[in-house]
Amino acid sequence: MRSTLLNLTLILITFQPLSTFADPDVSILYHESLELLEIGRASDGSVERLTFDAFGRRFSLRIESSRAGAAGSNAQLLKARLANAPDAWARLTLRGETLTGIIDEDGESYIIEQRQGLDADLLVQNERSDSPSIIYRLSDTLVTPGLLACDDHREGELPNQRVNGKTAYAKLTAEIGAASDVAETGGYVATVDVIADSHMFEWLGEDTEVFIQDLFATVDGIYSAQVGVAIEPVTIDVSTSLASDPVSDHREGSGLLDGLGNWRRSHQPMTALTHLVTNRRLQNDQGQSIAGISFLGSPGRSGVCDARTGVSISEWIGSGMTALVIAHELGHNFGAKHDGERAEQGDPPNPCEYVGSDEYLMSPMLRSGRNDRFSQCSLEQMDKVIAAASCLSSTLRQEASVSSGGASGLHWTVPLALMVAARIRRRRMPDPSATGVM
């Protein structure tokens, strides 16, 4: 695995993938069934509050904004806050009485998923197995070493040692952070063209679009809270056949990433990034399983906003963890590197190579969930990428009234410049074998 090769003395600038993830494997040590006690609605039918009990406490969620999910579904995408915890945030999807999403509270993250399809991951079966949703703490999960870290930084881990999910999340936040001045001013918006390939459609069917919206609602929550950049999936393209996939049917990550970059360049989407979500079993060029791959961002040259290298790929490993993998991969597009990482031969020096990797969030290996600070070096590098990213919308925002499939008048905060474009544009990828299809 090689970082981006940038040599200003050369006319030819080449890019290589930065990040590959290890073989996905997640175990949930403890979970509880989730049943909503209350769905409070306003007179127009919009959701105002949600209440449920879990882990010996009551969760009272105040809904700040809502919008309709995929066309033809009954899903509602919700931004929420915990009552009496103003710093906690939530991104949720409500389908009837089934809730999914994430609640991020100081010191803990709660993942809410549909029970269906998770039986193999649940080490302890709850007696209330009729509930459609479960809730678990990230600290109650074990993940394969490297699942939320780069593939070539596993030398400090035992081969069969499982890693606590909360520790893995601390590692993740290390690689998606941004400079403090950007986080304080906020207001940046990165638009994303999201592609779900035919392997995803084969697995999830007509629900594919709803699941993608659910994933990116969580990603947006992470970035809005920690980076000061909102993530807006303005287009969701769903491929329904192999012939309509934008990239080949191979599993080798580097080749797929190059293919996706070429697709982005030829289609010229007016977005900051393009991200592919797949259910194929990805591999690196050594045949080892990976869960994601991305190009490293460099100020004004690669990654976010670039016509070819503003791309990344994530493998579906279940909605809770897939959202974290997506957030990690997009973080590399924004230029996130590791503290203490030595550049490979032929690569430019890593300016953060001599920063103590045990002390900061950008540590290249999972060590402790207590590493909660960015090094000054990391802040400086990421600030350069964001400052040079001309395609990001800036701070002007207002409350815009958006039609929500019958629940009119619901308010959704969107950038003024994207008041029209920020409505998710839904389409099916055309099948080249079919004539007259656009």
The Cβ-side half-sphere exposure at 185, using a 13 Å CA radius, reads 13
Please report where in the chains the tokens 């990550």 appear, as a residue. Answer: 253
Query: What proportion of the chain, given as a percentage, has pLDDT over 70?
Result: 65
> Above 90 in pLDDT, residue 29?
no
**pLDDT-derived band at 58, boundaries 50, 70, 90:** very high
> Above 50 in pLDDT, residue 28?
yes
* Residue 119 pLDDT: 61
Q: For the residues 393-410, what does the mean pLDDT come to?
A: 37
**pLDDT-derived band at 23, boundaries 50, 70, 90:** very low
Q: For the residues 29-49, what does the mean pLDDT come to?
A: 91
Q: For the residues 138-156, what does the mean pLDDT come to?
A: 55
Q: What is the 3-state secondary structure (H, E, C) of 298-320?
A: ECCCECCCCCCCCEEEEECCCHH
**pLDDT-derived band at 360, boundaries 50, 70, 90:** low
Out of 7-21, 120-134, 172-186, which region has the weakest mean confidence (pLDDT)? 7-21
Burial class (CB in 10 A: 0-12, 13-18, 19+), 44: exposed
**pLDDT-derived band at 26, boundaries 50, 70, 90:** confident
Domain count, the chain: 1
Relative to beta strand 273-278, strand 141-143 is unpaired
pLDDT in tens, 2-12: 433 333 222 23
pTM above 0.85, yes or no: no
**pLDDT-derived band at 118, boundaries 50, 70, 90:** low
**pLDDT-derived band at 123, boundaries 50, 70, 90:** low
Query: Which of 349, 269, 337, 329 has its CA nearest to residue 147?
Result: 329
In a domain, 295, yes or no: yes
Burial class (CB in 10 A: 0-12, 13-18, 19+), 244: buried
More confident position, 410 or 334 = 334
In a domain, 354, yes or no: yes
In a domain, 347, yes or no: yes
Q: What is the CA radius of gyration of the chain?
A: 21
> Above 80 in pLDDT, residue 130?
no
pLDDT in tens, 327-356: 878 878 888 777 677 877 777 788 778 876
pLDDT in tens, 240-272: 988 889 888 788 888 999 999 999 999 988 899
Domain that holds residue 274: 17-25+143-388
In a domain, 302, yes or no: yes
* Residue 437 pLDDT: 31
* Residue 288 pLDDT: 76
Rounded Cα distance between 42 and 29, Å, is 38
- Provide the CATH number for the domain around residue 150: 3.40.390.10
In a domain, 77, yes or no: no
- Compute CA distances 260 → 7, 294, 330, 412, whole Å: 24, 10, 15, 31
More confident position, 287 or 277 = 277
In a domain, 162, yes or no: yes
**pLDDT-derived band at 125, boundaries 50, 70, 90:** low
> Above 70 in pLDDT, residue 25?
no
Query: Which of 5, 13, 24 has its CA nearest to residue 278?
Result: 24
**Beta-carbon contacts of residue 48 (< 8 Å; ≥ 6 apart):** 40, 41, 42, 62, 63
Mean predicted lDDT score pLDDT of the chain:
72
Q: For the residues 37-54, what does the mean pLDDT come to?
A: 93
In a domain, 130, yes or no: no
In a domain, 34, yes or no: no
